[in-house]
Structure 1
Amino acid sequence: MAISLPRRRIVGVSLKMYFDLFNSIKYVQGVYQLDGLAWNERVDLFVIPDFITILEAARILESSSIMLGAQDIFWKDDGPYTGEVSPRVLQQAGVKIVEIGHAERRAMFGETDEQVALKAGAAARHGLIPLVCIGERTHHNIASAAVGMAIEECRPQVMSVLATIPDDVEVIFAYEPVWAIGASEPADADHVVNVTKELRRMAESRKGVTRIMYGGSAGPGTFAKIAAGVDGLFLGRFAHDIHNLKQVITEVGGA
């Protein structure tokens, strides 16, 4: 039986491609100001800017406990891969966590479970924490059926990653039902808890820490309803206002 390691709560935000260079830097500076607050004892915080901003973001965050993330990674360290970003370079740039397999990349660029797993393996190989986005595409109206179908759709997404990364490294799964991304409300709390509890069982034999986040229209009040299943929240546009981000972190730290 694997040793049960304590899991810290975690909150993060991805800027996607919403900000220009100057506003991205301004946002990272704002996130830096949140470091050292009371919740730091209980909550890990990460921010994922665009690639162009990473070096300046690393400089800003260097003296803080805030983790710098990247929005994607390639599975090869070097070679003739035009437009891709090397895991070695990301590690050298100060990146600590890498978002992999977001629903947008799976849909727009055809990323497969196999490619996502290769990227997770490359991240782990260079000491980066893979943050793997998973989730079902279709929302089913019957609650009991919805949970079962979500679990079965997520299972290969999870298991392919677990088969690729070392058993003792940390991995984070961001459960993001595709139908909840950008919606007016997050997924139903019972649905999230039931699905994420089963996702955790898939990784229960691992030696390394496995954390599970929820993403998909998350905001104030979301975490308390689903804390039985997740370790934190992966935020989107709501958190582009630093005050909103601070509010959510405070809730996660105090729940």
Structure 2
Amino acid sequence: MNGLARSEQSAVRRIIIAGNWKMYKTQAEALEFLQAFLPQLSETPESRKVVLCAPFTTLSSLSKTLHGSRVRVGAQNIHWAKEGAFTGEISGAMLTEIGVRYVVVGHSERRQYFGETDETVNQRLLAAQSFGLLPILCVGESKQQRDAGETEAVISRQLERGLVGADQTNLVIAYEPIWAIGTGDTCAAEEANRVIGLIRSQLKDTDVPIQYGGSVKPENIDEIMAQPEIDGALVGGASLEAESFARIVNYQS
């Protein structure tokens, strides 16, 4: 480990608010976002970590612009190999070279559309840790699985397989109920808290920050963050607008 991630691990049960931009924003649009967003962090508590997980094409310019600021840059994927003939992939060395600090692994869209399995998610997570990146491991159930009463079993399996060989002191977990991503449906805050408590009970290190992700919006962030087990949010569409994401980052505790 190169020490980048360890400096992020100094406090217990840190609050981490991360925006996942998915396949949105050109470099120009990303920089325009920062001009509107950064001034709104002047009164944000220092204890809240703020992360922007952006497309690969914007990472370098974001990293340069945000150097010295409180906002960290995250990637949305990482390959498990240090280098090689893996067209379209990106390595840990490529990410750390440009100042990336976090990386999302196992997002439901990667699992659904690009064939990710618990085993490949684990490989990517281990690669992230080996380069000193903080992986944000996503777990969660589909509507079909929830309706069948399989929520607990699905998440337990994802954790068991995804964390094989992992350093749990160098990790963030995001619970993202698939049925609540981009649908406008939000898992009730109390239910999200219950599931996140279940996740925490299966970890060796119970101080691992666990986020909620799934249609997080300015209208529901206060209720979500009032829950005792929830340590932050992984925000999708609502992170694309500066005003919206700033309201989420500046939630009322």
User: TM over 0.5, yes or no?
Assistant: yes
Give the Å deviation of 1:153. 0.6
Match of 2:215 in 1: 217
Matched position secondary structure for 1:40:
coil
What is the match of residue 63 of structure 1? 68
Q: Is the 8 A contact 2:179 2:185 kept in 1?
A: no
Q: Distance in 2 between matches of 1:25 and 1:224?
A: 28
Question: Measured at CA, do residues 139 and 224 of structure 1 come closer, stay the same or move farther in structure 2, by a change above 3 Å?
Answer: farther
Contact 1:121 1:161 in 2 (8 A): no
- Structure 2 equivalent of residue 162 of structure 1: 163
Task: Indicate the residue corresponding to 2:5 in structure 1.
Answer: none
Q: Please list the CA deviations of residues 52-89 of structure 1 after superposition, one character each: whole Å capped at 9, or x if unmatched.
A: 11111110011112110001000011112121101111
Q: How does 1:233-244 map to 2 (within 5 A)?
A: 233-244=233-244
Residues in 2 aligned to 1:155 and 1:135: alpha-carbon distance in whole angstroms: 10
Match of 1:19 in 2: 25
Match of 2:38 in 1: 32
Who is 1:178 aligned against? 178
> In 1, Cα distance between the equivalents of 2:94 and 2:19?
22
TM-score w.r.t. the length of structure 1 is 0.87
**Distance in 1 of aligned mates of 2:46 and 2:95:** 27
What's the TM-score once normalised by structure 2's chain length?
0.88
Matched to 1:123, the amino acid is A
Whole-Å separation in 1 of the counterparts to 2:127 and 2:37: 28
Q: Which of 122, 127, 134 is residue 129 of structure 1 equivalent to?
A: 134
Equivalent residue number for residue 206 of structure 1 = 205
Q: Residue 233 of structure 2 aligns to a residue in which SS?
A: strand
Structure 2 stretches lacking a partner, 5+ long: 1-10
Q: What is the DSSP-based 3-state SS (H/G/I as helix, E as strand, rest coil) of the residue aligned with 2:239?
A: helix
Quick one: which of 103, 114, 117 aligns to 2:119? 114
Contact 1:134 1:157 (8 Å CA) reproduced: yes
Question: Do the aligned partners of 1:120 and 1:164 also contact (CA within 8 Å) in 2?
Answer: no
User: Is this contact kept in 1: 2:21–2:239, CA < 8 A?
Assistant: no
Deviation at 1:125, TM superposition (A): 0.6
Cα RMSD between the aligned structures? 2.0
Consecutive unaligned residues in structure 1, runs of 5 or more: none
CA distance in 1, matches of 2:51, 2:63: 12
- For 1:29 and 1:91, locate their aligned partners in 2 and report how far apart those are by CA, in whole Å: 24
Identity %: 29
Aligned length: 241
- Name the SS for the 1:98 alignment partner: strand
